[in-house]
Structure 1
Amino acid sequence: MLDETRIMRALTVRGITPDARQREAISALVTLVGAQQRARHAWSTAAFGPQGVYCHGLPGRGKSLVVDTLFELAPCRKRRLHFHEFLREMNRRLVHAPRGDDRLGDVSRQWLDGIELLCFDEFHVHDVADAFLMGRFVDTAINLGTRIVLTSNYAPDDLLPDPEFHKRFLPTIAQIKRCFTVIHFDGARDYRFGGEAAEVPRFFAPLDTTSEAALREIFTSHERGAVIGSVNLSAAGRPLEARAAGRALLWADFEQLCVARRSHLDYLDLAEQWQGLIVDRLHTAALRQSHTLQRLVWLIDIFYDRKRALFIAADQPIETALIGLEGAHDLSRTLSRLAEMQSRAYRSTLERRGDDNAQDGIDAGASSPGI
């Protein structure tokens, strides 16, 4: 039986004492899951209150932490994913779906089949095409009785902020406000800042022989026996020349990763192939180009969400270079995540892989296929 006490206890183990808004969200989430369980035995799901919980607020206020804890404990058929990943899956299905009067609705119903609880992390709508897709998807999910939990840096009224297109999304915004419990995480503390620094540095500046030696040590410690040398690869079908590639760790220059023409699909592909990425030779002047900056934001978001390792060598500290820049969505979230990724609290799949191998009596540097 899922109750508030179990969630509070799980958060306490992680060193979190929930504030008022977090407790409000915990209560709403427990109510949501309880309603979903009761709906299994009813003819109608609409009789059991809101069908979703929408948690929004500034980065690092504990939204994902609370929702992830609920998700781990919820006793139902469930799925949690990042918004980028969802869009990729939906668009792939739409390409192959047969034509019909309600193609998007048909694909949405197929995608939702068997899911009782759906959690979207970092929900946002900046593109009118995504807005159209998301509007029909939300309609379908509500009609099916799927319980939905969204975390976002945006209040519902601030979704699709482009004044040219905002009106087109107003019906979906109204539906979210009508069918979801909306909770504003307004705490003053960003939980990602102030953590104990990682034992081994992950970000390096400036670009000099010391940084080069540190990156080489990182690569060889995880990829013992691997050859360091140029290799031609691909990301989502686009060519990528890397400095070195092991079975778990990729080493590539920023020019190849973010200055070259890429999309979030490239970074999803890389995060699926490797458990860690070394971003080398990041010349921060390039971040003044909005497309380049946005690509870096996508890369960090996706690797953070997958809990992949990220090592960066730049000509100046990356956080310093990002402060005050414009031209990319959700830059404040990126700074918050970078702070956590440098802390001891951030445990990547690359590090956990090493721990597991050591416990099994295997050389911790031995490689295994990327996930």
Structure 2
Amino acid sequence: ALHRVKSQRRYEDPLFEVAKQVRSQAQVLCFDEFQVVHITDAMILKRLFEFLFSFGAIVVATSNRPPVDLYKGGLNRQRFLPFIDLLLDSCEVFHIETHKDYRLSKMAANSHGLYFVRERPQEEILKQMLGLTQGEQPEPGVVQVAMGRELQVPLMAKGVAQFAFADLCEAAMGTPDFLAVARNFHTVFLSRIPELTDMQQFPNEIRRFIDLVDVLYEKHVRVIFDAAAPPFRLLGITATTANFEELRQAIQKKFPTVQAFFEALQPFLLESEKSISQDADAAINRENWVKGAHLTVGVSTEAALQVFEKIDVQSKGILPLDAIRSGLYFHMLNFDVTRPTEKNVFLFQGRPATLGSPKAVGYELFNEGGSSGAQDIQFAYVRTVSRIRDMISTSYLEDHQKIFKLQDLRLFGVPTPPA
């Protein structure tokens, strides 16, 4: 809107005119994941919000940091401080103390053939596409974006499309292009996604990928990912994931199975008189877990503590040992190139039969760190990975079926839900 108003050259203050136009269309403005990463944006926001508030607009925003920490550590931040004062004067701040990611809390163990960690032959991808298009051959095409612009689509048919990462994230694309994809296709094959761990080397490509996932997720598009790395390594490894991996490697160095590790923890259990090879309810408290894991396999006390607290989502201070196994299962599902199955020897050999089918318990991906623009980027990484995980879950796929009135989950090995 600002660029359009400036191009008309009819207004003394384009920001004033933009604010007036926005206010004429809405009284309440909502911003999700509000952040400031550049001083130019900061200066524009200050004046824009001054006008909006003067026109009586109501602003509701969520952010990963309180107003006083916005743009913390940024260049020329002192010029941004008046905007923080404006927010504090005009808005009421609510602190919601939680790092719980509700997308991960509902994760199913299976990814149902929607995330592949290898470069699949194009013939294999095309075969999967043909199953979704009832045999109609996908062909190159175009879709309308806005103001006469068109987006080239490498392959498309019957609401299904394929793009390579380079098509959407290495070209000069933006949110309007991604919205055009979401409007025209209920299913998108996104191929040849590279590892995206170097923000310095690929800043624009990574930001476009994050925006693309945001748009497709919000529009509930089904995406089949072909990537160079598993979800929890695609955009770099968070501190939480590193702690789980440290524990996994420490166990594997000393024991052939998780069950053997648990048996070595016998002296630290709350019900040590029971044999954990038969007891499905054996549990351990936080203090004994940290001490026992450190002494038994040499994992750092910090990593052991973080693993315990990420699994202990209700903060009870006590965990069944099988909850720790389930957390490791979830970690390996999302970290390993070859995903474990319910027959994985390391995870499940010797597991008490009374426990029933193995399950995966999601852990939080929150990435601890200093308050700076770099942490804002990490928050975006974590949100993106979390959304990818949700997009390949059973619940997301079932919602997708209802929204687009489809019945093709059988092609992904998922029973079709009742209509």
TM-score by length of 2: 0.54
Letter in 1 for 2:167: Q
The residue aligned with 1:303 is: 216
Structure 1 residue 345 and structure 2 residue 395: aligned?
yes
Cα distance in 1 for partners of 2:180, 2:6 equals 18
Q: What number of residue pairs does the alignment pair up? A: 266
Q: Report the CA distance shift for 1:102/1:315 in structure 2 as closer, same or farther (over 3 A).
A: closer
* 8 Å contact kept, 1:250–1:277: yes
Letter in 2 for 1:270: V
Alpha-carbon deviation of 1:312?
Answer: 0.9
Gaps of 5+ in 2: 239-373, 408-419
Alpha-carbon deviation of 1:173?
Answer: 1.2
Alpha-carbon deviation of 1:239?
Answer: 7.4
Per residue, is there more strand in 1 or in 2? Answer: 1
* 8 Å contact kept, 1:242–1:253: no
Cα distance in 1 for partners of 2:7, 2:187 equals 32
What does 1:247-258 correspond to in 2, within 5 Å? 247-258=158-169
Cα distance in 2 for partners of 1:339, 1:266 equals 23
Alpha-carbon deviation of 1:335?
Answer: 1.9
The residue aligned with 1:316 is: 229
- Structure 1, residues 165-202: CA drift from partner, whole Å, max 9, x if none? 32222111111122212122221422111324367432
TM-score by length of 1: 0.61
Cα distance in 2 for partners of 1:156, 1:304 equals 27
What does 1:57-136 correspond to in 2, within 5 Å? 90-91=1-2, 93-95=4-6, 97-136=8-47
Letter in 2 for 1:299: L
The residue aligned with 2:118 is: 206
Q: Report the CA distance shift for 1:159/1:345 in structure 2 as closer, same or farther (over 3 A).
A: farther
Q: Report the CA distance shift for 1:110/1:259 in structure 2 as closer, same or farther (over 3 A).
A: closer
The residue aligned with 1:268 is: 179
Cα distance in 2 for partners of 1:275, 1:136 equals 39
Cα distance in 1 for partners of 2:183, 2:2 equals 18
Cα distance in 2 for partners of 1:349, 1:96 equals 42
Q: Percent identity?
A: 24
- Structure 1, residues 246-285: CA drift from partner, whole Å, max 9, x if none? 3523211112222334344432343344334221122327
Larger Rg computed on CA atoms: 2
The residue aligned with 1:189 is: 100
Instruction: Name the SS for the 2:95 alignment partner.
Output: strand
What does 1:329-344 correspond to in 2, within 5 Å? 329=377, 330-344=380-394
* 8 Å contact kept, 2:38–2:74: no
Letter in 1 for 2:179: L
* 8 Å contact kept, 2:29–2:58: yes
* 8 Å contact kept, 2:228–2:234: no
Instruction: Name the SS for the 1:278 alignment partner.
Output: strand
Cα distance in 1 for partners of 2:127, 2:23 equals 45
Q: Report the CA distance shift for 1:130/1:300 in structure 2 as closer, same or farther (over 3 A).
A: same
Cα distance in 2 for partners of 1:232, 1:324 equals 37
- Structure 1, residues 70-109: CA drift from partner, whole Å, max 9, x if none? xxxxxxxxxxxxxxxxxxxx33542455532322112211
* 8 Å contact kept, 1:206–1:317: no
Instruction: Name the SS for the 2:29 alignment partner.
Output: strand
Q: Report the CA distance shift for 1:113/1:339 in structure 2 as closer, same or farther (over 3 A).
A: same
The residue aligned with 1:164 is: 75
Q: Report the CA distance shift for 1:178/1:162 in structure 2 as closer, same or farther (over 3 A).
A: same
Cα distance in 2 for partners of 1:115, 1:282 equals 38
The residue aligned with 1:279 is: 190
Instruction: Name the SS for the 1:113 alignment partner.
Output: helix
Structure 1 residue 141 and structure 2 residue 52: aligned?
yes
Cα distance in 2 for partners of 1:114, 1:268 equals 21
* 8 Å contact kept, 1:193–1:340: yes
